[in-house]
Amino acid sequence: MPTAGFLPVRQLVLVDLLSMMVAVRPGERAVIAIDGVDGAGKSRLAAELVALAPHVAGREVRNVGMDGFHHPKAVRHARGTGPETFYEDSYDYEAFRRAVLRPFRAGGDYLPAVHDVVTDQHVSPDPVAASDDALLLVEGIFLRRPELAEEWDATLMLWVPLTVSVPRGNTRFPDRPEGSGDPAHPANARYVGGQKLYLQQARLHPPTWILDNTDLRRPALIDPDPEEPVWLELP
């Protein structure tokens, strides 16, 4: 019987994906990045995998989002609001290493966030404990950038066309201007342009797995193919 809250076809695919993820570094802690453009469905997927894990994984699976490691707005916009600053200035990667990666790798507790991007305030959540062989899923944008590439034991790319991901992502922001569901709308220039810059930087770091998450009901695992490198394209 399907687990409550999951659609049957989607659940089957996610079980296959989860089985591959939990095979990474068995018997010790591991970190897997879930990467993709805004609106690809990263947060939902990570939460689904964590919910499925007790039923099928035989290993503790936890998740943390990069949104909890934004720079304050004053830092993010200090050099303007163009694509370059979106890619280069959005996140505090040193804070992420200090709060999550280093303590998790060392077998200790980690902090799931340091900044609330909505309130633009520093936060101090309780530390999170994890088992000795826990799998930590880190979801966010820009995760295969060169300065982070060596931090992951494996990576998953969510592939979704911009014509789907942009309007999907914009549902979180009801004040977006009319017509902004179009990726070419000026309101999206910062974000679409930033993703293009990112893909140029990430070209040497192909993902371990690709999940076509265009149809949330019927996602599909795609074998990364060097002859057709979709991870280099902005869909």
Alpha-carbon separation of residue 150 from 153, 202, 205, 224 (angstroms) = 8, 12, 10, 19
* Number of alpha carbons in the 13 Å side-chain half-sphere of residue 63: 19
Q: Which stretches of the chain are DSSP H helices?
A: 8-21, 42-56, 73-76, 83-89, 93-96, 102-105, 162-170, 189-201
CA distance 21 to 63: 13
Return the bridge partners of 155, or none. 33
The radius of gyration of the chain from alpha carbons, rounded to an integer in Å, stands at 17
* Percentage of the chain exceeding pLDDT 70: 92
- Whether residue 233 lies inside any domain: the answer is no
Domain membership of residue 129 (yes or no) is: yes
Rounded Cα distance between 43 and 64, Å, is 9
Residues 6+ apart with CB under 8 A from 205: 144, 146, 149, 155
- The pLDDT, as a whole number, for residue 223 is 79
Instruction: Decide if 188 is inside a domain.
Output: yes
Please, what is the average pLDDT of the chain? 91
225 belongs to a structural domain = no
- Give the tens place of pLDDT for each residue, 128-156: 999 999 999 999 999 999 999 999 999 99
What is the DSSP pairing of strand 121-122 with strand 61-65? unpaired
For residue 90, the model assigns a pLDDT of 98
* Residue 223 is assigned to a structural domain of this protein: no
How confident is the model at residue 1, as a pLDDT?
Answer: 39
Looking at residue 186, which CATH number applies to its domain?
3.40.50.300
What pLDDT is attached to residue 172? 78
Q: What does the pLDDT read at residue 103? A: 98
Residues spanned by the domain of 43: 8-217
d(C-alpha 59, C-alpha 23), whole Å: 10
Q: What is the pLDDT of residue 2?
A: 46
- Between vectors from CA 154 to CA 58 and to CA 164, what angle results, nearest 5°? 100
pLDDT digit string, tens, across residues 107-123: 999 999 999 999 999 99
Residue 48 contacts by C-beta under 8 Å, 6 or more apart in sequence?
6, 10, 14
Number of domains in the chain: 1
- Per-residue confidence (pLDDT) for residue 235, from 0 to 100: 58
Which residues of the chain fall below pLDDT 70? 1-7, 225-235
Domain-embedded: residue 235: no
- Asked whether residue 62 is assigned to any structural domain, the reply reads yes
For residue 229, the model assigns a pLDDT of 62
136 assigned to some structural domain: yes
